[in-house]
Each structure stands twice: as structure tokens, then as C-alpha cells.
């Protein structure tokens, strides 16, 4: 009985290995080289250009151009008789200075800085009102991200990068509002 089991196990192993050997053989597809087709012949289409006939357009006749004076190679070209008179200088006109583009002044910088600081303070206050332990894993990640945004906003505010500070402070406030909500 033991010998029968050994033979059966041996037969299964041999059959399994033959199956593995068959599975490992690679089938190579024949390589067929395709030739590049010739480009299509160019079709030339005759195009007739015709001007539309104007119905109510008045015809304006121009005076015939004067023929150019013939200059012999021995004679120098003719000079104009006199230069046209220069108009008398008139009273100087008042020149308006170019428009000045006003950048952020100290008062507007102060206003901007106060708004950003208020946004940062509101976001920080909202985060402090949230109990961190009660949050789920995703909410904890969002809380940490909002705290990091507040820190970045403060750093950018110190570096006087108001646009970036405002953007990051608004992100922190929005995340804090969503966590609170």
C-alpha cells in the first residue's frame, strides 16, 4: 500500500513537471517584414482666381504715373531744388507723464498682512477647538496638514511673500472648517 502511494505521488510529480516544462516552452511567432508603401501621387487641382464683380463700387481712376526721367551715365542725378520749409516751432505741448503702476504700499501691505494674520488666527482657533484624539486616521492627517499650512503661512508672512502666505492660510482655514463641520 505504501508502494502504491509512492508510485502515485511519483506519477503526479512527473506529470506535473512535464506540464511545467511544456508551459515554459516559448512559442516564437514568425517575423513578417512589411515594406513601406509608396507615397500617394499628388493630385494637382486647377484653381481659377476670379475677382467678384463689384455691383455698386464706384470706379476710381488714378492719374497716370509720370515716367522716370532718363539719367545718362555721364550726368550726376538731379538734386531737388530746395528742401521743404520746416514748420516754425510752436509752443511746447504739455506731455503727460506715463501712468504709474502702484504696487503695494506700506498701508496696503499692512492691510494685507492684517487680513492674512486674521485668517491664520481663525484657522488656528478652529483647529484648537477640535479634539485630536477623537479624529479618525484620515482626519488626523488633514489636521496635521492644516497645522503645517498655518506654519508655512507664518513663515511666508515673515518673508513678506503675501500672495503665498494668503494662499496657504486660506487652505489651512478651509481644512480646519471642514474638520470642524
Q: What is the pLDDT of residue 46?
A: 78
Q: Which of 110, 147, 108 is nearest to 125 (CA)?
A: 147
| Residue 148 CB contacts under 8 Å (≥ 6 apart), including other chains | none
Q: What is the pLDDT of residue 114?
A: 94
Identify the sign of the CA torsion 139, 145, 147, 149. negative
CA distance between the termini of the chain: 74
Could you tell me the residue ranges of all domains in the chain?
106-180
Q: Phi-psi category of 160—alpha, beta or left, where left has phi over 0 and alpha has psi -120 to 50?
A: left
Cell of 118: 486674521
pLDDT by residue for the chain (181 residues), tens only, comes to 555 566 665 556 555 555 555 556 677 777 778 888 888 888 877 777 776 655 555 555 555 556 555 555 565 556 656 656 666 666 656 666 665 555 555 568 889 999 999 999 999 999 999 999 999 999 999 999 999 999 999 999 999 999 999 999 999 999 999 998 8
What predicted TM-score, i.e. pTM, was given to this entire model?
Answer: 0.43
Quote the CA–CA distance of 25 and 149 in Å, as a whole number.
58
Amino acid at each position: 500500500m505504501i508502494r502504491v502511494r509512492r508510485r502515485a505521488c511519483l506519477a503526479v510529480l512527473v506529470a506535473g513537471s512535464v506540464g511545467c516544462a511544456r508551459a515554459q516552452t516559448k512559442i516564437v511567432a514568425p517575423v513578417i517584414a512589411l515594406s513601406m508603401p509608396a507615397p500617394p501621387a499628388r493630385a494637382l487641382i486647377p484653381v481659377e482666381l476670379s475677382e467678384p464683380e463689384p455691383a455698386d463700387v464706384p470706379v476710381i481712376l488714378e492719374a497716370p504715373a509720370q515716367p522716370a526721367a532718363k539719367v545718362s551715365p555721364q550726368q550726376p542725378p538731379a538734386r531737388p531744388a530746395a528742401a521743404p520749409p520746416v514748420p516754425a516751432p510752436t509752443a511746447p505741448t504739455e506731455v503727460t507723464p506715463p501712468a504709474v503702476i502702484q504696487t503695494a504700499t506700506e498701508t496696503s501691505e499692512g492691510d494685507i498682512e492684517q487680513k492674512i494674520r486674521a485668517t491664520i488666527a481663525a484657522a488656528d482657533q478652529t483647529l484648537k477647538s477640535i479634539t485630536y484624539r477623537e479624529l479618525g486616521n484620515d482626519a488626523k492627517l488633514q489636521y496635521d496638514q492644516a497645522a503645517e499650512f498655518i506654519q508655512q503661512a507664518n513663515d511666508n508672512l515673515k518673508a513678506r511673500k503675501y500672495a503665498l502666505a494668503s494662499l496657504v492660510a486660506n487652505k489651512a482655514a478651509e481644512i480646519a472648517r471642514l474638520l470642524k463641520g
